Each structure stands twice: as C-alpha cells, then as structure tokens.
A = this chain, B = another copy of it.
Amino acid sequence: MSQRLGYIGMGIMGNPMARNLLKAGFSVSVYNRTREKTKDIEAEGASVCSSPQELAKRVDVIFTNVTDTPDVRAVLLGKDGVIEGCREGQVVIDNSTVSPRETREIAGILAERGVAFLDAPVSGGDIGAQKGTLTIMVGGDKAVYESCMPYFRAMGSTITWCGESGMGQMTKLCNQILCAVNMVATCECISLAKQAGLDVQTMLEVVSKGAGGSWALANLGPKIAQGDLRPGFMVQLIQKDLRLVMEAARTASLPLPGTALAQQLFTAVEAEGGGQLGTQAMIRTFERLGKFNIP
C-alpha cells in the first residue's frame, strides 16, 4: 500500500485511531483545530497540516473524527475544508457519529467532485481505540469499503458493511438506543434494590448471570454501586447521539418512547451539572426521585 492517509480530529478517539494507522506502517498526516493535540503523534512520525484543505492536497484517503454533524460539515465542506483541496479518486471516511441523513447529503456533494465517502462510526470507547479493537460500522459503496479494509483492520476488530451511505451511522444509532435504554433498566433495578434494603452488590451478582443480564449491568452496575460516576462515555455525548436517534426516528415516523425517556433522565443529570460524568450518572436522577443515595 503506497496510499497516503490523513486524519482530521485528534480527540480521545481520533488520536489513538490515527496512531494505530501509523503503527500499521501507513504514512499519516494529521490536522486538529487545537495544534497542541497533534504533538504526541507528530513525535511518532505523523506530518501535521495547517488546515483540512492542505491535508486533502497531501493525501489519498482522509479520515474525520469530530464531535457533531456541523463539525463534519465544517472540516469537509467549509472554508479551508477538504472540498477546497480534494481531487477525483480520493476517499473520505468519517469515523464521527453524526446524522445519517446529512451523511447522505455530504456523500452526494463529495460525489460531484469524484470523491467517495464512507460513514464508519465506531464503538468500543477510548480503550478500544487504543487497543485497535473497535467495532466499525460502515455505510457506502461496497467496493470502496472493501478497498479500505486494510485501514479498518488497523483500527478495529469487528468491521461490518451495513449498507448504502448513512447505514453505518444508522447502525451506530441502533447501538446507542440499546446503551441508553439498558441504562434505564440498570438504574431502575439498582434503585429498587437500594430502596427495598437489598444488598446491591449481591443483587447485581445474582441478576447479571441470567435473563436480565446486559453489558451495561455488568460493567456500569458495579460502578454505580461503588459511587464511581467517572466517564467512560459522557452524558453529554450520549445526549448528542440520542438527539440524532430521535431525529432519525421522526424522519421514519417512528415513536421511540423508551429512548425519549432515557433522553429526559439524562437531561435531568445535565441540569444538575453532570453532563461530563459517565452515562451511569443517570442514577443521580433516580436518587433525587427516590430521595436516596448510592452508595
């Protein structure tokens, strides 16, 4: 592979993902709005660009990993953006979690310049990003997807083509529904146990093994029981994702009352200043509702 790669967005996910591309032997250029966050990867051999436009001129395949849909639009389509430096035959791969509908719009605009676009959001957290064990959910042209497998393999262990443009994002949104609503289940279960005078740890051990089990219960239940609300995955980030879920559901004329409830319970956490806590901080809402404290 003589392809030159570029990575835009050196956040908690993008930075380790770009480093894994570098470790796999690819030539990597990077861009980040805050120059400071490119220091470590520059020391490991990446070239630092001064704009997405400059990066697009230098490389063949461009990755983006930024916070929200407007950020993807800005780095790809805005002033000094990728669109001002791109050329026919390039591929853009977006690892952010953003709107499936706007993903298709962006893909359409880039297609007019002869640039292919894959949506490829990930799950697995910062640990998965560091270890290269992410789940990567890809939407877009299947042949382009297949040509990009060497890059995906450097960053993830479960890589799936989910369908046409936007379907990677849609699969990620399905995943976020589960994360949010399974957290409601976990918090209500622990709240009843606490209020009824059960030993919460014992209860968790018993119910984790059976038909009530979930990743949320097994991994975040014990943190709740110990009063550890550090992120993990921040409340304000799942809230951004749930807004995308509800927008997609509205477009599909589908009510999602459980997801809407989770959104409201997280909003109550944010209202009390807990937006930067982990999603397990939903327990705070139940503590207020039930007038109890865990631990």
Contacts and interface: CB of A to CB of B under 8 A. Distances in A.
B252 A257 contact: no
A261 B259 contact: no
Contacts of A193: 170-171, 174
A199 interface: yes
A188 to B, nearest CB: 5
Interface residue SS majority, chain A: helix
A248 B160 contact: no
Given A160-B202, A163-B197, A210-B215, A173 B185 contact: no
B210 A124 contact: yes
Nearest to A286: B254
A226 interface: no
A185 to B, nearest CB: 3
Interface string A188-206: 1111110111110011011
Nearest to A174: B189
Contact of A185 (B124, B158, B182): B182
A206 B158 contact: yes
A249 B286 CA distance: 12
A148 interface: no
Given A124-B210, A135-B209, A249 B192 contact: yes
Query: What range describes how many residues of A lie at the interface?
Result: 35 or more
Interface string A223-256: 0000000000100000000000100110011111
B198 A167 contact: yes
Contacts of A192: 170, 173-174, 177, 245, 248-249, 252, 254, 256
Interface in A143-187: 158, 160, 162-163, 167, 170-171, 173-182, 184-186
Given A163-B199, A171-B202, A210-B215, 8 more contacts: A137-B206, A177-B188, A181-B258, A182-B212, A188-B259, A191-B254, A257-B261, A258-B261
